[in-house]
Amino acid sequence: MNRRIFFTTVLLAVLLCSLSCGCGAEKSSGQIQNVKIGVSVYRKDDTFVSSLCTDLENDAKAKETESGTKINLNIVESQSSQALQNDQVDSFLSGNYNVICVNMVDRTAAAVIVDKAKKENVPVIFFNREPVEEDLRMWSEAYYVGADAAQSCTLQGEIIQNAYRKDPRSIDRNGDGVIQYVILEGEQGHQDALLRTEYSVKKLVDSGLKVEKLADDTANWQRAQGAAKMTQWIQKFGKRIEVVLCNNDDMALGAIDAVRESPLKSNAPAVVGVDGTRPGLEAIRDGSMLGTVLNDASQQAKAIFDLSYSLACGKGVPGSVKLTSGHYVKIPYRIVTKENLAKYLS
């Protein structure tokens, strides 16, 4: 074979390969046919995070079928240990993963991960637990996909406000013109817990309602802890509790569990959550929860996946992903009550 024919054959082979690979992801070792996406989550038993992971897996399967590219989506959990999560990131980097997605255990500790990823030139996408802006800005290939926490609880306040407008006594049970409430907060230091707590009450006050806080405490996003706190509050405040504001659906379900076991069950307080998980939506259907605010796991997963795949293929940020300030994707929240529940249950 003369040199010309040889080079033409090689060129054709490379071209054919890049077409059949769908994604021409390239690392220094040359053309690869697999896209490797490493995902580390803070806990897998978190209802919202686990449903987001299921959506990610479905997105990867769909893309694999559509593109013919082999996608290795490896989801590991850090069991609430930042040290373990750092090790997981190290093994993704040494295992030549094309993109790394991280649901931080400690959202203030992202600088270490950005630094390592930058050194290896592997894009990193944080999600759900938002790093401080300074850390994200350390590198142009560091991104965050999540939602605007303040918006979620402005909407949560709106659910209460709408119900009050329709029928004040459905909220202000004792008719004293003041809404007595308790708040179940998420994990301390989490951006969603801080902002949701502030904005749900702010919305009520801004809309001219008089409110009185009876108690607030953290239940770390968890149903059992929510139930335990609510049981204590029912013993202390009894019928005075008119509204239970919850930073997520799991804690709202815990509060409902406690109400069901108490004398309040015949005239239960209004309970509102955030997330729109399946059990949360079922609670709206059976009337035990007044409403929730959809934290759109499926749209967040889609943004994480589309961004990962495109970056892995060396194609940059895809048109389907709208970045703000060069690093952020924030998916809007939506109110869910029994009026529009059917749309979300299906």
- DSSP structure string for 103-134: --SSGGGHHHHHHHHHHHT--EEEESSPPPHH
Interatomic CA distance for residues 43 and 35, integer angstroms: 24
Least distance (Å) between residue 128 CB and ligand GAL: 5
Least distance (Å) between residue 86 CB and ligand GAL: 18
Of 181, 168, 135, 195, residue with least CA distance to 333? 195
Nearer Cβ to ligand GAL (92/126): 126
62 and 16 in contact (C-beta within 8 Å)?
A: no
Nearer Cβ to ligand GAL (218/248): 248
Nearer Cβ to ligand GAL (53/99): 53
Interatomic CA distance for residues 122 and 43, integer angstroms: 23
Q: Give residues in contact with ligand GAL (CB under 6 A).
A: 46, 48-49, 128-129, 186, 190, 192, 221, 248, 274-275, 295
252 and 183 in contact (C-beta within 8 Å)?
A: no
Q: Does residue 100 sit in helix, strand or coil?
A: strand
Q: How does strand 243-246 pair with strand 211-218?
A: unpaired
Least distance (Å) between residue 154 CB and ligand GAL: 15
Nearer Cβ to ligand GAL (129/302): 129
Nearer Cβ to ligand GAL (122/153): 153
Least distance (Å) between residue 186 CB and ligand GAL: 6
Nearer Cβ to ligand GAL (192/257): 192
Least distance (Å) between residue 295 CB and ligand GAL: 5
Of 271, 276, 234, 237, residue with least CA distance to 256? 271
Burial class of residue 299, CB neighbours in 10 A (0-12, 13-18, 19+): middle
Least distance (Å) between residue 271 CB and ligand GAL: 15
Nearer Cβ to ligand GAL (59/185): 185
Q: Does residue 76 sit in helix, strand or coil?
A: strand
Least distance (Å) between residue 46 CB and ligand GAL: 5
Nearer Cβ to ligand GAL (72/81): 81
Of 98, 23, 50, residue with least CA distance to 275? 50
Least distance (Å) between residue 114 CB and ligand GAL: 19
The token pair at 147 is 């939602």
- CA 48 from centre of chain: 6
